[in-house]
Amino acid sequence: MTQYQALIIGFGKAGKTLAATLAKMGWRVAIIEQSASMFGGTCINIGCIPTKTLVHDAEREGDFSVAMQRKAAVVNFLRDKNFHNLADLDNVDVIEGRAEFIDNHTLRVFQADGERVLRGEKIFINTGAESVIPAITGLTTTAGVFDSTGLLSLSQRPARLGILGGGYIGLEFASMFANFGTKVTIFEAAPQFLPREDRDIAQAITRILQEKGVELILNANVQAVSSKEGAVQVETPEGAHLVDALLVASGRKPATAGLQLQNAGVAVNERGGIIVDDYLRTTAENIWAMGDVTGGLQFTYISLDDFRIVRDGLLGDGKRSTRDRQNVPYSVFMTPPLSRVGLTEEQARASGATVQVVTLPVAAIPRARVMNDTRGVLKAVVDVNTQRIVGVSLLCVDSHEMINIVKTVMDADLPYTVLRDQIFTHPTMSESLNDLFSLIK
């Protein structure tokens, strides 16, 4: 049995950053990852980095096969870099294998050449999330059906792509493959597309998708999936649809199966997410959980902030907690990207606040004309009484950069007039925030 001060299960953003930090403080650390192909975590290998690389090339009408090769090169470079960032440290052991708890201090790790037992004073779980696979006949046995990881491994572009699920993952893939020239059909079971967004924003996104040739089918009750004529047949009560590949984009769930958490006294919720307090401590006093495995917001930057909270608890004054998070922005890298922070108009009005809502068409922004992409709309919700920004939705080129400016102003509790009167460079998309907030009267 090998003894460590810290055992970290999972090579994700929080886990790898914590491992490096503790090692530099002199701790003896082991980080366990079940596959060498996932060194560096979901973001680098099967999430943010490969998808955004492909989005970039698709927007420039690049060749699909060439784009996939470039994606692989980017991923391989970053994976190797992340591996050596830890493996080259004298007091860090990177272990490839599947871990399970024996008790709250002990792990059994199953490796290709056998088992080993590790004991740690403190244990940190950072195993991420995995795809949800709906119980649809033929979905797991039909050739040509992929989750997002599998779809990112294709070498040839499918002429027709079906997407099961119209959420943010499905939206991003739909836009990307349509830009590559694929005919895309989205099968969304709900009667409403993007229910978390305001209806005007969702409608604007729908128009953009339709202009790309994407077909959106709502109330799509997919009953079965099968092979037919070398393609994938998607069966609904209204008829069958043939596609060359089917992406299952029905969401993701915490990856806790097989960890034997009960042996360590670590409790989970009904979705399998590890229950943690505001300091990311589990129900076992020496075990923490970070990132997607807790069932919270599934963003790399949340995982990074989880690391900061745990680091502060171990090495700092212990005051930092999840309660400190104020306005968490997000971006969906469709083309053009959708970014939002704070409340929607509907949420703001439901809260009882007195708000003013303004919108600015992207076509009115000079920089958008320069970049030849005038699709989309900017929307702001401001509290009339406090002059504070309640929420902003940006559907436009470069929105993923602009939204961070808005978040900073909101976190600083500054009035909307700061953005209305700010001096920005010209011509830029950021300066459109002057125009948007000038509409507030």
Residue ranges for the binding site for NAD(+)? 165-172, 188, 251
Cα–Cα distance, 82 to 277 (Å, whole number): 29
Nearest to 108 by CA among 254, 283, 264: 264
Sheet containing 377-383: give its strands across.
Answer: 330-332, 338-342, 389-395, 377-383, 355-361
CA angle, 421 then 424 then 426, to 5°: 130
The full length of the chain comes to: 441
Q: Which position has the token pair 């996104």?
A: 205
**Measured between alpha carbons, how far is residue 70 from residues 52, 54, 56, 326 in Å?**
12, 8, 11, 37
Encoded amino acid at 422, one letter? Q
* Annotated binding-site residue numbers for FAD: 52, 292
Cα–Cα distance, 147 to 145 (Å, whole number): 7
CA angle, 20 then 267 then 297, to 5°: 60
Please give the structure tokens belonging to residue 411. Answer: 């976190």
User: What single-letter DSSP state applies at residue 275?
Assistant: P
* Annotated binding-site residue numbers: 52, 165-172, 188, 251, 292
Which ranges in 30-63 belong to alpha helices (H)? 42-45, 48-59
What 196-204 contacts at long range (C-beta under 8 Å, 24+ apart), as own/partner pairs, is 196/344, 197/338, 197/340, 197/344, 197/393, 198/344, 198/345, 198/346, 198/379, 198/393, 199/346, 200/359, 200/377, 200/379, 201/338, 201/344, 201/377, 201/379, 201/393, 201/395, 204/376, 204/377, 204/395
Q: Is 426 annotated in the active site?
A: yes
**Catalytic residue from among 56, 105, 400, 426:** 426
Catalytic annotation, residues: 426
